[in-house]
Amino acid sequence: MKENKENEGTESSEKRIKKDKYLKEFGDQTSFHGFRYVTERSQLTIRRLLWFLLILACFGGLLFQIVDRVAYYYGWPVTVNVVVNYNNTLQFPAVTICNQNAFKASLAAENGWYELIDQMFSSHRTQGIEKYIRNSMYENISLETLYLNTAHEREDFIFRCSWKGIPCKQDDFDKILTDHGVCFTWSSKDNDYVSSPGVENGLKLKLNVEQYEYMPGPHNAAGIKILIHDRLEIPMVHALGQAMSTGANVFTSVQLMKVVNLPSPHGVCSSRELNFIDRYSQGDCKLDCLSHTAAKMCGCRHIYMPSKNDDFPSRYEEDCNCPVPCKSNAYHSEISYASNSKFAGKKFISKNFTEILINKLKDANEVTSRMDGDKFQKFKDLYTNFHTKLSVLEIKLLEDLTSLLSVLKVRLSASFNHLRSVCTWKKWLYRYQEYVVLKNFIRPRDAFEESNIHIISLAFNEYVLTIESNLRSLNSTVFLDTSVREFLYQQTVDKLLNRQEIVRRSQINFAQLGTAYREGVGIFNYTYDYAPRSHNDYAVPVYLLKESLSHNKHAVKFTNRLEYCLNSTYDILTYFKELVDKTYASRNLTEEDIIQGSDDFRSVMGSFSFSKAVTYYEVIERPYRILQQRYLEFEKICFSAETDIHTVEEAVDSLTETIISFNNTYFEPLHLISSVIDRYLSNFDGEKLVIGKQFLSGQMKNCERDLRNVLQLILKDDSDISSELNKVFSSHLEIYKTIVNDRDSFIYYNFSKHYDYLKTFEDVKEIIDSNYTELQAMITLYETVGEDGTAFLQSFTYLKEYFSAYNEMMDINNEFIKENFMQLDLYYKQMSYEEITQQKAYDSFALICDIGGSMGLFLGASLLSWCEILDLFIINLMLPRKRPQ
C-alpha cells in the first residue's frame, strides 16, 4: 500500500517535470517575446510574475485592437476618389428650354379655347370656371391637348440656332411635355460631341419669347426657363430649371461631373425597374412613383407624367423606394449676363423678317385686344368714358347758367356780409380789451409808480450817502450841544421810517397788482366807447392776465426777485435805524458797519430797478402787447378775407360774360369717330390699328386743341371762383378759429349772448364747412361745363394715349427687342470632367494585416506564433507521447 502511494507520487512528479520541461522548451523556442522569462524556473519568482502580467497586458491590448479593427471592417467604410479626366471629346448634354408663358394667345383664340384658358388661370375668375368645363364644346379636351395645341411654336420661339457654328436642323429640337408645360429639348442626333471648349464650339440660341402673345397661364414670369441634363433623363424644368429674362446675352458654361457610388453594404446605390420609364435615375424614379400615385388615387396624371399606352396600372403594391443610382452624370452650369446695347436691335432682326414679325405682331395684338377680357374691357371703358363725357359736355355746354350764377352771387353776398360783421365786432372787442387792460390794470401801475414805487430807488446813492453822513456825524464827538445831535438823530430816523413806509406801501401796491392780474379784477373802472362800466369785468382777459404772471422763467424769477428786493430794502432800512439808535446811544459805530449797510442798499437798489423793469415788461405790460398783436393778426386775416371776397365777386361776373359769348361748333368730328369705335366694339367692324390712326389724325388734334381753348376760358374763371372761395373759406375758418379759441373772450361772449362763439372749433368748423359746401355745390352745378369739360378732355387724352401706345406696339425697336428677345450661348468651359468614385476603404486583407501588425506591436509575434501555441497544446500537451525506454 505504501509502495503504491510512492509510485503514484513518483508518476505525478514526473508528469509535472515533463510539463515544466515542455513549457521551458516552448518559452526558449517560441517567437513570443518575453515568454521565456515566465517559463524559466531559475529566474526570480517576482520577475516571472512581472513578465507574466506584462504579457497579459499586451495580450489585452492586442484583443482590443483586434475588436476595434473588426468593428471598423463591418462599418463598411468608403473613400471618395476625385479624378479630373481630360478628354479630346465630350458629349454635349441635352438642353431643355421652356417659355415662361405656357400658351400662345393667337393659337388659343384660333382653337376657340382662349376664354377657357383665361378662366382656368385667372385667379379672380376661378369661381366661374365650372360653367366653361360643363360646356359641351370643352367636354373632350384633355389638358395635354390644350397644352400641345396652344403652346408657343418652335419656329417662332427658337428664332435662330447654331451648333458649333453650323445652323441647327429641324429635328435637333424635340417638342416635349414637362412639369413647366410644353418645352423644346435640343439633342443633336448625329453630331453631339465637342472637341474644344468655348462659345464658338457650343450651342447658340436666339429666342423670341413672344410677350405680345402672352396670356394667363400657370406661370407669371416673362422669359425662359432652361435645364441642362443627361440625354436619357426626363427634364424637370419647373422644379430644377434656371430662369432667365429677356433683353440680355446669357452665357452658360457647362461642367460635366460623373459620380460612381458603391452598392450595399458599402453604399446605398441601387436601381430598380420603373413602371413608365426605361432608364433608371433617382429623379425619374420619383417621377414614376408620383405618376403611379396620381393614377392610383384619382385615375389621372399631369401632362408631364410618363405613361404606357395612355393608361395606368390598376394596382400598385410596391413602396415608393428611389435609391441613389450607382452611376450618374451631373451637369453644373455657371451663368453670366451681358445686357444688349442700344445698337443691337438693328443687327438682331433682318429687314425681311421684320415685315413678317410686324404682321404677326399686328395679328397677335388684334387677337389679344379682342380676346383678353381685361384689355377689351379697358378699351371699352375708355370709349364709354369718352362717349359719356362727350354727351354730358354737349348738353351742359349750351345751357343757360346765368340764373345759377345770380343765385350764387346772392348766396355769396349773404355769407360775405355776415363774415364782415363778425370781423367788425371782434375787432371792436379786441380794442375794448386793450382799453380795459390799459386803463384798469396798467394805469393803476402808473399811479402806484408815481405815488410810491418810484421813490424807493429815487436818488438812492444820494439817500444812502446822506444816511452815511448822518451816522458819522452822530458818531463824532464834535457835537457838544445835545439838542443839535438829537435833532440830527431824529431827522435821520424820520428819513429811514419814511422810506420804510414807502417800501411798505409799494409792497401793498404790488400785492394789489398781483391780485388784480391773478383774479382778473380791475383796480380802476374806466368806460370804453358805448359799453357801460358794468361790462368791464366781463371784457377782462382773465387768462392772459393770469398767464402773464408765470408765462416764462423771467416773469417768475424777476417777480419773486422784486418781492425779495422790497423785503431786503425794508430790512436794510431797519438795519440802518438800528445803527442810528446804537450810534446815538453809545457812539460805538465802526466804518465797517456803515459800509456793509451801504453796499447792501446799493446792490438791492440795482437789482430792484432791473427786476421792476423786467416785471413791468414781462408781466404788467405783456397783456396789452399781446392784445395789440392779436388785433393786428386778426385784422390781417380779415383784410385777406375781404380781398378774396372781392376777387370771388369779380370772377363770378367775368364767368357770366364768358358763358354768354361762348358757342359750340366743334362736335361733329367727335361724333364721327365715336360712331366708328362703337361699330368696332359691337361687331368687331374694322381694325383697331386703322381706328387708332384715324383718332390720332390731324383733324382730331385740331378739334381737341380748339375745344381745349374754349373750355380753358371757362375752366380758368371757374377755377378762380372755386380757388378764391376756398381762400375765403380758409380765412373764414381762421377768423372763427381765432374767435372760438380766444378763451380770454369767453366770459364776454356769454355775457353779450354771442353763444355761437362758445362752441368748439370742430362744431363751428362743421357749420362753416356745411355752408361753404353748399356754396361749392352750387359752383359744382354751375361748373358742370368746366368739370365735365376737364373730364372729357381727360377721357380724350386717355383714349389718345391708348391708341398711341397700341400703335407703338407695332414698332420693332430696341425696347421691343429687349422685351421679347434674348441670346443664349451654352458651351463647355473646359475639355475635362470630374469623376467622383466611391471605393472600399477597408477590406479583409487589410484587416488581417492590421491584426498581424498589432501582434507584432504588442507581443513581437506573427501568425506563426499562434501556430506554435497550437503545436504546444496539440502535440505536447494533448496528444500522448511515447515514453523513452
The answer, yes or no, to whether residue 253 has pLDDT greater than 60, is yes
734-772 pLDDT tens trace: 999 999 999 999 999 999 999 989 998 899 888 889 888
Mean predicted confidence (pLDDT) in 818-836: 84
Q: Are residues 452 and 509 in the same domain?
A: yes
Pair 769, 828 in one domain: no
Domain-located, residue 522: yes
269 vs 774 pLDDT, higher one: 774
Q: Based on the domain organization, do 713 and 672 belong to the same domain?
A: yes
| pLDDT for the residue 868 | 64
The one-letter code for the residue type at 707 is L
pLDDT at 190: 72
Phi then psi for residue 550, to 5 deg, are -145, 30
Q: Which whole number is the average pLDDT over 880-884?
A: 48
Grid cell digits, residue 761:
372749433
**Model's pTM, two decimal places?**
0.53
Please report whether residue 421 resides in a domain.
no
Instruction: Dihedral sign for Cα 427, 430, 436, 439, please.
Output: negative
- For residue 2, pLDDT over 50 is answered with no
DSSP codes of every residue in 377-411: HHHHHHHHHHHHHHHHHHHHHTS--HHHHHHHHHH
Residues contacting residue 85 through CB under 8 Å, at least 6 positions apart: 832, 833, 834, 835
- For residue 623, whether the previous peptide bond is cis, meaning omega lies within 30 degrees of 0, is no
pLDDT at 317: 41
- C-alpha cell, 565: 428786493
- The CATH number assigned to the domain holding 195 equals 2.60.470.10
Q: Is residue 668 part of a domain?
A: yes
DSSP state of 280: -
- Taking only the tens place, the pLDDT of each residue in 681-712 is 888 788 888 888 888 888 888 878 877 777 77
Domain shared by 599 and 492, yes or no: yes
Query: In terms of domains, do 767 and 712 share one?
Result: yes
Residue 432 confidence (pLDDT): 94
What is the C-alpha to C-alpha distance for residues 266 and 78, in angstroms, rounded to an integer? 6
Residue 139 has pLDDT above 60, yes or no: no
Angle CA 124–126–127, to nearest 5: 100
For the chain, the average pLDDT equals 80
Query: Does residue 4 surpass a pLDDT of 60?
Result: no
What CA dihedral angle connects 610, 615, 620 and 624, to 10 degrees? 80
Q: Which domain holds residue 186?
A: 78-102+165-257+329-341+819-839
Which range among 35-44, 64-73, 402-411, 789-798 shows the weakest confidence by mean pLDDT?
35-44
280 shares its domain with 214 = no
pLDDT tens track for 433-477: 999 999 999 999 999 999 999 998 888 888 889 888 888 888 887
Question: How big is the chain by its Cα radius of gyration, in Å?
Answer: 57
Determine the 3-state secondary structure of 247 from DSSP: coil
Same domain, 180 and 222: yes
The CATH number of the domain holding residue 863 is 1.10.287.770
Domain count, the chain: 6
Would you state the pLDDT for residue 849? 78
Q: In terms of domains, do 117 and 245 share one?
A: no
At 145, list the grid cell: 391637348
Query: Is residue 415 situated within a structural domain?
Result: no
**Based on the domain organization, do 463 and 563 belong to the same domain?**
yes
Q: Tell me what the mean pLDDT of segment 58-85 comes to.
A: 79
696 plus 753 within the same structural domain: yes
User: Bridge-partner residues for 338, per DSSP?
Assistant: 249
125 plus 223 within the same structural domain: no
Residue from 640, 872, 694, 658 nearest 785 by CA: 658
Residues in the chain: 885
Residue 82 has phi, psi (to 5 degrees) of -110, 120
Q: Judge whether 478 lies within some domain.
A: yes
Q: Does 858 reside within a domain?
A: yes
Quick check: is 144 in a domain? yes
The 3-state DSSP class for residue 269 equals: strand
Q: Taking each helix axis from N to C terminus, what angle separates 688-695 and 784-808, rounded to the nearest 10 degrees?
A: 130
Q: Is residue 625 part of a domain?
A: no
pLDDT grade for 583, boundaries at 50, 70 and 90: confident
- DSSP secondary-structure letter at 162? E
**Alpha-carbon gap, residue 374 to 385, rounded angstroms:** 16
- Same domain as 853, residue 738: no
- Give one DSSP letter per residue of 642-680, joined into a string: HHHHHHHHHHHHHHHHHHHT------HHHHHHHHHHHHH
